Every structure is written in structure tokens, then in C-alpha cells.
Amino acid sequence: MRLPPPLKPGSRVALVAPSGPLRDESDLTHAVANVQAFDCDPIVGEHVLARDGYLAGSDALRLADLNRFAQDDSIDAVWCIRGGYGATRLLDGIDYDAWCRRPRALIGYSDITALHAAIGARAELVTYHGPTARAALTHYTRDALALAVRNSDSITIRSDEMTVLRAGHARGRLAGGNLALVASLVGTPYELDLEGAILALEDISESVYRIDRMLTQLRLSGALSGVAGIAFGHFTEIPDDAANVDRPLERVLAEVAATCGVPAVANFPIGHIDDQVTLPLGTMAELDVGLSTMFIER
């Protein structure tokens, strides 16, 4: 997998909205400010403020911004302003040749998982599962993003919040992202290849039974049969329902880890949380459950 050139002061960072619509112009203001805080130059997509119901404009408009920046060799990174829904609708129209010709950073998470899966595989490119551009970045999140995109050094992630689901040590290629997106890509040309991978997963606003169902889909499809390890991130805003208390999430995650027979942790620092790490998807990593540590090679 190719590592994009590190961002540096003066790098040109394109801002796109390939999924859900921005709340208002304040989202764009925050995104521009975040780019400038890294001493980079924000280049705003022409259609980022478009709206078509739950989409940030029509598929054609969203795709036009994404492909325009992929074809522009002066652009050093594409940072998605928000997630939501809609990226999967664009996958058949992406100019993958442009991403192959000119590697650049792709940054975002949640619905942007679809772009990571498709562009990462077809361009053999490391992409960054990190915060969206409109987010209010904490010092932790900002530093983690900078560490990932501004240099080519190895990364060590350690968190006392991680909990052991299944002990052990695993080494493999980093893959994954949002569980709903990973599951929805099964059976499509963009399905993730998880053979020998350390799978990182997160999600938001899903009941435990729905998380169970999506993980079961991955298991029954065979997608999990070759994973080397699993880092379950945060599953936030689980609905307040008695069933979610009677059959808690950690029990479901532990069942998956046991079925797969691989080292696994919960509460890995990714997801819809304030303090999140940026994962360079496609790089090799080592997960040491006993030390609550992930070491990412570069």
C-alpha cells in the first residue's frame, strides 16, 4: 500500500461533502478554520452547501467535487466535512485512475468508510480514518491527526479505556471503519478484504440487536473468517432500551471475538467521540491486548 506524501505548511486541502448535508454555513466555517489551523490552504468544493434531503446535493454534484479534486494534481489532501449517508451512491462513478496517478490523503470517518474501502483498494493507497473537517477538534484529536498525516513515523496508540475481550497478540493490515458501512458493502465489488487484517469498527445510534445483526452478517458471509484481530471502537448513543441492558453490547462483542478466536479489545479510541485517534488504513499494525496498545508501522 502506498503512503500519501505527508502534509506540510502550505499544502492544499480540498473540502468536500460526499454524504449528508451540512447543517449550515457554520459547518463550512469550522472546516476552513480546521484546515488553516494546520497551516494548510483550504480549497472548498463548489457544491458543498448543496442539499437534496438527506444528501449534500445530487449524486452528480457530490461526485463532481470529489472527482474534480482527484484530477487536480495541486491538491494534497481531500478532507470530508461530514459523514451521514450517501458515499456508497458514488462508488461506481469515482475516478480511481486519478487517485492511482496522484496519491493524496483522504480523511474522514463514519459514512466515509465507503470511500476508504473503494479508493484504498483500487488505488492501493493508505487512507485516514480520522475526524471530519467540521468537527470541534480536541487537543488529543488534533495531535493524533497531525501525527498521522504530517509525518511518516510509526504510531503507538495506548488507552487505559481499552478492555480485554480476548487476550493475545495480533499482527495484520489495518482495515475497517463504520460497522454499518462495512456490513453494507458485503456482496458488492467494494467489499473489504479482511484476510489477515486487524479489523477496527465503530458506530453510532444503533441498538445492540442491530450491532449483533451486522456482526452476524459479517460472520455468515465469511468476511471475518480470516481476521487476525479485532479492535472494537466506541458504539455511542445506544438507545435507552431494557433489551440493551439485559443483553449488553460487550457481551455481543465478546461472543464475536470468541467465535473468531482472535485477540480483541473494546473501547479502542475511534468512533463518534471527542478524543479519537486517526488510523492509517492499509498499514501494518500490531495489537497487544495485554498492554492495551496498538503499534502502527509506516
- Is 110 one of the annotated active-site residues of the chain? yes
Which residue reads 468536500 in cell numbers? Answer: 16
* Catalytic site residue from 47, 206, 272, 292: 272
The amino acid at residue 59 is D
Catalytic residue status for 202: yes
Give dist(CA 238, CA 166) in Å, integer: 23
How many whole angstroms from its chain centre is CA 119?
Answer: 12
Grid cell, residue 244, equals: 440493551
Amino acid at 135: A
Contacts of residue 90, Cβ cutoff 8 Å, sequence gap at least 6? 18, 59, 62, 63, 66, 114, 115
In angstroms, the CA 99 to CA 182 distance is 21
How far is the CA of 274 from the CAs of 30, 139, 141, 174, 270, in angstroms?
15, 10, 7, 22, 9
| Amino acid code (one letter) for 217 | Q
Q: For residue 268, count CB atoms less than 10 angstroms from its CB and return exposed for 0-12, middle for 13-18, buried for 19 or more.
A: buried
Grid cell for residue 9:
505548511
Q: Which of 110, 206, 234, 292 is catalytic?
A: 110
User: Which residues are marked as active site?
Assistant: 110, 202, 272
